[in-house]
């Protein structure tokens, strides 16, 4: 039994009556992300955010969050990422920057409580997020339509915790041939993507210019923003995009595909990268 689920006993109702059954729930717990810069008397520790997430891959989640928020730019800036449990009611992860590395204090002032469903809530403005991104290039990256059509099944097969609980989002990267590169699950769709991008960030594998991001749910503005920060050229999802997600993908030169189900999908932006 994975640490990301919690066993429960529930009452199941069916046409034949009721029965007590054992089941599992996707685990959701708070994670405090902290940042430490300087040394000795000049050391500064700052609480950056609290996010409700599924435990696991917390270092990647913290790194991905700090990168996609524009607070850090390179894994070379990070000396250590350390988990801790100093507070009774939340777990934490602290990112220690190397000596001499400073961060934009204005970005750190945008501290907010991040729910598992909406990471963008509380940010100062949509424009501030948009300004942190640059258009994706990757003009030579082409994908056959049949590869896109195969991704939902590949994603579902790899969603181990979803199979147990039915309650998690997934984000995954595939190469142009449809081979899985990395997959993460979380109760928060933005956390799942931060974990994916954070894993690539810590490996110093950004920009991600030749891979496809596949999402298990809908496409929000914030998910497009995070993908743009990592220079991901193609986003595909089982669900629908929001109007703001389409607008940002258009600006960022990102191919946006929704309702990827069976042999069909919708192309919303920059379909030049897809061929039949």
Name the residues annotated as catalytic. Answer: 118
Rg (CA), the chain: 19
Give the length of the chain: 276
Q: What is the DSSP string of the chain?
A: --TTEEEEEEEEEETTEEEEEEEEEE--EEEEEEEEES-GGG-EEEEEEEEEE-SS-HHHHHHHHHHHTTS---GGGEEEEEEEEEETTEEEEEEEEPTT----HHHHT--EEEPSS-SSTT-S-HHHHHHT------TT--EEHHHHHHHHHHHHHH-HHHHHHS--EEEEEEETTS-EEEEEEESSHHHHHHHHHHHHHHTT-----SEEEEESS-B-HHHHHHHHHTT--EEEESSPBPHHHHHHHHHTT-EEEEEEETTEEEEEE-GGGEE-
């Amino acid at each position: 039994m994975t640490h990301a689920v919690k066993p429960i006993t529930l009452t199941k109702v069916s046409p034949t009556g009721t029965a007590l059954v054992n089941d599992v729930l996707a685990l959701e717990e708070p994670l405090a992300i902290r940042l430490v810069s300087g040394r000795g008397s000049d050391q500064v520790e700052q609480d950056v955010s609290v996010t409700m997430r599924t435990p696991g891959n917390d270092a990647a989640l913290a790194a991905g969050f700090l990168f996609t928020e524009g607070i850090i730019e390179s894994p070379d800036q990070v000396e250590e990422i350390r988990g801790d449990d100093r507070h009774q009611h939340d777990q934490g992860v602290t990112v220690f920057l190397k000596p001499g590395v400073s961060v934009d204090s204005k970005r750190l002032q945008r501290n907010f409580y991040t729910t598992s469903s909406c990471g963008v809530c509380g940010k100062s403005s949509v424009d501030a997020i948009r300004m942190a991104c640059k258009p994706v290039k990757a003009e030579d990256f082409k994908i056959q339509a049949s590869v896109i059509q195969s991704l939902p099944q590949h994603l579902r097969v790899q969603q181990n915790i979803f199979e147990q609980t039915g309650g998690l989002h997934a984000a995954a990267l595939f190469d142009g041939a449809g081979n899985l590169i990395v997959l993460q699950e979380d109760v928060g769709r933005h956390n799942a993507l931060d974990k994916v991008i954070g894993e690539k960030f810590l490996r110093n594998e950004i920009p991600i210019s030749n891979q496809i991001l596949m999402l298990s749910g809908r496409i929000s503005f914030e998910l497009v923003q995070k993908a743009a920060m990592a220079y991901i050229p193609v986003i595909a999802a089982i669900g629908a995009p929001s109007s703001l997600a389409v607008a940002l993908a258009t600006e960022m030169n990102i191919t946006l595909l929704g309702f990827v189900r069976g042999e069909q999908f919708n192309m919303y932006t920059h379909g030049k990268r897809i061929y039949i």
